Structure 1
């Protein structure tokens, strides 16, 4: 029996997800075998208790938040290759915007998957070139003239995307934007917890959309 596109996406997606998990565990195991140094269960558990809950929380939030945007194949590919917030999600959203398709549709799924795959390939090539030319590029990258530019790559990337989406849905964007601006002004230390605050902004936007819809403002 011929499997559907979604069935094949889930099959290969799960296959590569678990392959990535195995490969991640292989690295520390290989190091332990090579140096014959086994930390033991208790030290590993103590280390995990300090950091794992944060990553589990962010990971769960990213799955709930990004999967509806990226689609089935795009989500599997994005979570295997990583760096969703900085690269994969902006690439997918920008590609769907340029193609004139919406997330959650079959067209959006195809465009999202192609965009994420292209982003992964380009990222791998750029990293490979950077590693090979690290010695030559280090003085340029660390120069005082370029330092401010590298520190503002992420804000400029999301700023460009925000202009497009905010201009089209400014009524829906107003509530989460004002909330986040006030929150970060009052508690600047929360800037390092952006991943956790993404669903908070989404919930505020949904709530505001519901109120505006009830008042026939959208």
Structure 2
């Protein structure tokens, strides 16, 4: 069982690193402004933020509500500090919990999730560092037209592999959100760039479908 001291330490260090990361991120544009003595002013910055910030704020709020129950306290803090949750951290955590045969939201699941996210962050950092040092040598390979289709389908392949595992376990529950999303993307292809916003929509549809099936004794 988790102790109160563990929870308190997790929240303390989690908040510490969250705010540290926020300050470091804000220091980058501040350092550029100081170095080049270029201050855009409040109004231009506000106009620029109004075009993009609401989207990121919305996605950020949705990710908090959607992913924290899956990742647990420590995993969530670590994931949000290191970033790239949808594309990397969440799939790694879910796959690790699946292999360890533990449930998301359980104490065992939180431990496995935290280890998986930490390992993913370390591996990602090492790969990025190697990529920076070997950028000149790797550029021709990464820009190769032959490999472009593979890079374009990395994310669908990743989530497709995870979907097979979970759909095979609860295929009745998966029908409703799967049919809804397929029809939605066929009718409005431009929504393909808003996957993060649609994740909770699919989750709500799944919950609603599961409740209906449960009441009808179909699951």
| TM-score using structure 2 length | 0.98
Change (3 A) 1:127 1:207: same
* Equivalent position of 1:197 in the other structure: 198
Q: Deviations over 1:156-190 (max 9, x none)?
A: 00000000000011011110000000000011000
* Equivalent position of 1:149 in the other structure: 150
CA distance in 1, matches of 2:75, 2:126: 20
* Equivalent position of 1:78 in the other structure: 79
Count of equivalent residues: 217
| TM-score using structure 1 length | 0.98
Q: Deviations over 1:62-96 (max 9, x none)?
A: 00000000000000000000000000000000000
* Equivalent position of 1:129 in the other structure: 130
* TM-superposed deviation, 1:147: 1.1
CA distance in 2, matches of 1:80, 1:92: 15
Q: Deviations over 1:12-38 (max 9, x none)?
A: 000000000000110000000000011
* Equivalent position of 1:50 in the other structure: 51
CA distance in 1, matches of 2:147, 2:193: 23
**Which contiguous aligned blocks of 4+ residues in structure 1 show a shift greater than 6 angstroms?**
none
CA distance in 1, matches of 2:172, 2:88: 27
RMSD: 0.9
Gaps of 5+ in 2: none
* TM-superposed deviation, 1:3: 5.3
Matches within 5 A, 1:62-73: 62-73=63-74
Structure 2 residue matching 1:4: 3-state secondary structure: helix
